[in-house]
Structure 1
Amino acid sequence: MRWRWREVCPVAHAQKTQSAPGTLSPDARNEKQPFYGEHQAGILTPQQAAMMLVAFDVLASDKADLERLFRLLTQRFAFLTQGGAAPETPNPRLPPLDSGILGGYIAPDNLTITLSVGHSLFDERFGLAPQMPKKLQKMTRFPNDSLDAALCHGDVLLQICANTQDTVIHALRDIIKHTPDLLSVRWKREGFISDHAARSKGKRDADKFAGL
């Protein structure tokens, strides 16, 4: 199955020969994946139509802030993947609590948010070096790679997938809004397949949208 990338990837190029994922039925918008379980959703989950990979630098200054970050991400992921009413803004003079992209009700839309951590998270900032997995290494350049340093590495990587692109963008904006002092976007990449391909049950499970 061939992936379409919205931006040029340093190691793979593809032509945009089809439109982005379209509007789905109400039933499809209410599809959901369990958030809690033995494994993170988004690894063995059947392939959704829209995807975004986002790498972040962690701004937390100590281990307590890092713990606060992961607790906050857990709360946001749990809400966004299960759906619910958009939060109301108590003071109309203040910025809204939600971007409003999805309206008054945030449908789960088969959303999954899969988190991984990079080698750099285990540096001296948080004292996590003893806990670093032995096989976790900083990504190195392969022969014939032409890499942009601004599009490499990161402390935290999120793979955000859903039936529609609007849900993916809404999830990212929600996460950024709730973590202004804890995370900074380093780079992102978007991709999609057709709705038909995503809904061809049993053909292929998407463990990585980068085609790896």
Structure 2
Amino acid sequence: MLQRQQLCYVIFVVTQDDREIFNKGKLMNAGFIEAKKYGEFDCFIFHDVDLIAMNDKISYTCKDEQVVHYSFAMKQFDFKPMYLGYVGGALGFTKQQFETVNGFSNQYVGHGGEDDDMQRRIRVRQIKVWEPKESFVKYTNLPHGRDIGNPKNKMMTKLMEKAATRIDTDGLKSFSVKKVTIAKHKTYVEILVTL
């Protein structure tokens, strides 16, 4: 798909390499920080690994004035937005936009909250979200069972209440992990993160 669109790209697959509770925000931040070391990219697509585009005409590009939310129409939700303001699944940021929102929160461990927190970051920084309106922009999820290493986040509601006040202190600027290991493969770069 990306080759047919003649895009210059690198795919980074970021994986948590420990037995700690899953932390999507830290993994996304690690991916951004490591990807910047590979060159001057004009677009960063943050894409859930189990999300598959149903059509190869979807153009993975960014907009200077808007964050792009690609996956607003997903099969599991009858191709309608999951709820108003939902920005999960696949998001496109310019480097400046992602740094302006200070990346993802590092506080959400387990399942839930990090995408809604990102929506608040985008809104507080007064960046608009653009969703492609073409009828072919649809996604499906790969079937998988519940990940026992990713329990429901019990602190989600409390964290969400103060999400807007943590933007400057929780994210890229406060990011830290124990170890990052890079493995280059033929078609992608694997980033293993030990929290």
TM-score past 0.5 threshold? no
- TM-score scaled by length of structure 1: 0.26
- TM-score scaled by length of structure 2: 0.27
Q: Which has the larger radius of gyration?
A: 1
